Structure 1
Amino acid sequence: MEIESSALRMYVEGLYDMDGKATDLSFQVPLSNFKKRDTTYAPSNKGIGSDGGPSIFIRAKQNSNGTLKFSYDLFKRFRKSRI
């Protein structure tokens, strides 16, 4: 899912469990977010097929005690496990 506002664009994929037992999410934050945007910038979706360019990948995975653990996903392991 692509999420974009006037401040940030990011892509989220994975599984969110309402019972809080099996949440496993991947967040992709493109580095292009860190450039200065014009005051007339209007958000527009690039589409889910877009790779977003150079990005930071963060993974949120549920521990056995039910809390979410956020970690840097250096090698994009989440995406590789889905292929």
Structure 2
Amino acid sequence: MPMNEKLTVELSKAQAGALRRAVASSTYIDTDEIMAEALNDWFAKRDAMASDIELLRRLYNGSAARGEVCPVDFTGLRKASHQQLRSA
């Protein structure tokens, strides 16, 4: 049984062109290397997100156990965080 599985991925013309230029400039050996790096980054991002969610869950549960839970304005928090990102 092969260890790898071949998949077909559709990219926009701009994305495909960027991959070809990266290979042509010798930044990458081939497009497979680019896709492998992108997937590694994607997996790392998902792992980090799962860790963040678990941390938030533990913090919330700890606060709830101490009776420190209070309502949160997520819409306001989201707007404030977007404003901070724009001004950074």
* Higher Rg of the two aligned structures: 2
Structure with greater strand share of residues: 1
Q: Comparing both chains, which one has the higher relative contact order based on Cα–Cα distances under 8 Å and sequence gaps of 6 or more?
A: 1
- What is the TM-score of this pair, normalised by structure 2? 0.17
Structure with greater helix share of residues: 2
- What is the TM-score of this pair, normalised by structure 1? 0.17
